Structure 1
Amino acid sequence: MSRLIEADVAIVGGGIVGGSAALFLARAGKKVVLLERDRCGSRASGVNYGGVRRQGRAPQQLPLAQRSHALWGQLPDLIGEDGEYVRSGHLKLARSPQDMAVLEAYAAQVADYGLGLQLLSAHELRQMFPMIGDKAVGGSLCPEDGHANPRLVSPAFSRAATAAGATIIEGAPVSEVEQTSSGFRLRSVAQDLTVTAPVLLNCAGAWSGALAARLGETLPISAAHPLMAVTEPLPAFLPVSIGVEGGGVYGRQVTRGNFIFGGGRGIPHPVSGNAPVPDFARPERGALVNLLQQAAELFPDLAGATIIRSWSGVEAYTPDHEPIIGPSSTIPGLFHACGFSGAGFQTGPAVGAVLADLVMSGQSVTPIAAFSADRFR
Structure 2
Amino acid sequence: MEQGLANSEGLVQSVYHLLWKKADPQHSEGKTDPLYRFTFQIPDTILFTRSGHQWWYFTTTMAHADPVYNNTVRKKRSIHLNKDAMFKGLLRSCRSKSGLVAVWYSSDCSEPAGVRSTYLDPCALGEFLVSSEEREGALQVFTDPKAGSDGYVHHSMIQSVWHQPGVCLVEKRENQHVLSNTYRPLEERTQTFEGYEHARRVPMHSGGATAAVKEASDALVKHIFCVSGKQVQTITLHWKVDGKNRLQFLFCSQLQLQDRFGVSQAMSACLGATEEAVPPTPHSSTSQALSSRSKRAPKAKAWQIDVLRADFRAWQQRCPQPAGPSTVPPDPDCTRSTARGPSHSESMALSEEDRSRTV
Please state which band the TM-score falls in when normalised by the shorter chain: under 0.3
Q: TM-score, normalised by structure 2?
A: 0.26
Higher relative contact order (Cα pairs below 8 Å, separated by 6+ residues): 1
Bigger proportion of residues as strand: 1
Q: Which has the larger radius of gyration?
A: 2
Q: When the two structures are superposed, what TM-score results if normalisation uses the length of structure 1?
A: 0.26
